[in-house]
Amino acid sequence: MIRVRFLGTAAARPTVRRNVSGIAVQREGESFLWDCGEGTQRQIMRYGTGFSFAHIFITHAHADHLLGLPGLLRTMGLQGREEEMTVYGPVGTEATLHAAVRLGAERMAFPVEVKGLAPGRRVDFDGWAVQAFHAEHGVPALGYALVEEARPGRFDVEAARRMGIPEGPLFGRLHRGEAIEVGGRVISPEDVVGQPRPGRKVVYSGDTRPTREAVQMAMGADLLIHEATFGAGEGRRARETRHSTAAEAAGVAARARVRELVLTHLSARYSETPARLEEQARAVFPASRVARDGLELEIGYRD
């Protein structure tokens, strides 16, 4: 199961009900953060996501997306953490990220490495990856996508039985893509295993104007998390500040044919009236909603 927990959904500054940017993602026991605005460590405690993150992916070097790093890392050290942490961000922002990591700590209690990522680069894990893509925000900025490898096709048990294949280890070998021999006959995986099934995809836009790269990365995604700093009537302001409106975010979702769109990074002016943004997005892409702090989504397989 993939779980996405919104730790902060406000733009620029926190409000009474919304902290600034932070998203915790858990996949089959592994977890990481997308962005770490100030107060993220308290949101982690508040919503019970735990502190076991080994990777933090920062979209860009604006304060509301990274100033939570000093406190979070300090807390982890005081809790006795020894495992290494890696903080990623756009190429060119490494010095800023290093400064944030070191702020307030005479020495780090555990190793922290900072790495710059260029658009198109990916960080590979076992069976999945986090891939960086270009975001348009007037400064070096990235969006990120959790992309799983394709899964093996469905195993046709009845077909295997008709071929006289004994149940047990041979079934497993075929499902893993190995040919086997039974009674002098060579049986290929294609004889009993269907077409590969797509893995899951979760995409986070970061702060950005709507872009072709976001549409391409989000194509067919199970979940698109897109910033929606502004609403209708604020298009000029969105363009000036390199942000998106709710309707523009919905346009990205519609073009990418995603399953669901969740809007985040709301301006304080919409903090108490998020339904306005939701309505505007749904007029373009019906499967839209606005995130709130603490919202948890579970993304299962489609089949």
d(CA 56, CA 80): 19
Q: Name the more confident of 81 and 108.
A: 81
Average pLDDT over residues 76-85: 94
Asked if residue 13 lies in contact with residue 64, where contact means CB atoms within 8 angstroms, the answer is yes
pLDDT tens digits, 180-198: 888 888 888 888 788 888 9
What's 124-191 look like in SS3? ECCCEEEEEEECCCCCCEEEEEEEECCECCCECHHHHHHCCCCCCHHHHHHHCCCCEEECCEEECHHH
Task: Answer yes or no: pTM beyond 0.75.
Answer: yes
pLDDT tens digits, 195-228: 888 999 999 999 999 999 999 999 999 999 999 9
Of 85, 89, 81, the closest CA to residue 109 belongs to: 81
In our burial notation (b when 16+ CB lie closer than 10 A, e otherwise), range 212-226 reads ebbbebbeebbbbbb
Q: 126 CB contacts (<8 Å, ≥6 apart)?
A: none
Measured CA distances, 199 to 27, 37, 63, 149 (Å):
12, 30, 34, 5
Angle 94-102/69-78 helices, nearest 10 degrees? 40
To the query of whether residue 64 is one of the catalytic residues in this protein, the response is yes
Q: Which of 35, 64, 207, 222 is catalytic?
A: 64
- On the 0-12 / 13-18 / 19+ scale of CB atoms within 10 A, 124 is exposed
